[in-house]
Amino acid sequence: MNKKVHVQDLGLKDYKETWDYQEQLFKNTLDLKIRNRREDLSLETPNHFLFVEHPHVYTLGKSGDISNLLVDEKVLVAKEATFYKINRGGDITYHGPGQIVGYPILDLDNFFTDIHKYLRFLEEMVILTLAEYGIKSERSPGETGVWLDVGTPFARKICAMGVRASRWVTMHGFALNVNADLGYFDLMIPCGIKGKAVTSLNVELGKKEVDMDEVKQKLLKHFQVLFEAEINKKPEV
């Protein structure tokens, strides 16, 4: 099993460009797996982990309800935001500057073939990272992602998740609010869950800004331990 994970930080990059890049990496791994099976080969399949920030964008998962986007196209244009229907699970999500988005494109045959465990590990990676900042976060029963003050009137989401998998190859991933503009969340019903607030790490810490690179390094550290991965950092693009 190949547990080497190639990590790239794409910086601030258009959502559609990043989605196309994900699809390319995803397809390359799937094609290799199919070739291995057809030709009885044992070529190693690659694993990738992309960090990125997106310009303002709303994405709707394949099981999502468009009515959870509360504004029309004119408002999106005024807010310099775009909208895409995409092929991950989950409902509507916002991405924007100040948010760390992570796209692990892993062949889970290299780690473990359990999507439930995969999602729990991604959540745990975020929970452990936030704990390093003194923030107690947790899972909310029946609701994917990472939350604060679960079970209270003050419950709020700090990290959204939505993944796609085929033949145990994953794509899409998580979005952690670090220095996010929370006003953009008011234009939708986040993840289709009414009556639940959204927060950001800088708000919880009472800071104007949190070092994004530091948070990425902490996420990567916990990812490496949880997945027993060997990290290989590729040059930034």
Instruction: Assess whether 191 carries a catalytic annotation.
Output: yes
Task: Annotate the chain with three-state secondary structure.
Answer: CCCEEEEEEEEECCHHHHHHHHHHHHHHHHHHHHHHHHHCCCCCCCEEEEEEECCCEEEECCCCCHHHECCCHHHHHHCCCEEEECCCCCCEEEECCCEEEEEEECEHHHCCCCHHHHHHHHHHHHHHHHHCCCCCCEEECCEEEEEECCCCCCCEEEEEEEEEEECCEEEEEEEEECCCCHHHHHHECHHHCCCCEECCHHHHHCCCCCCHHHHHHHHHHHHHHHHCCEEEECCCC
Q: Which of 57, 191, 198, 215 is catalytic?
A: 191
Phi, psi (deg, nearest 5) at residue 166: -145, 130
List the catalytic residues: 191
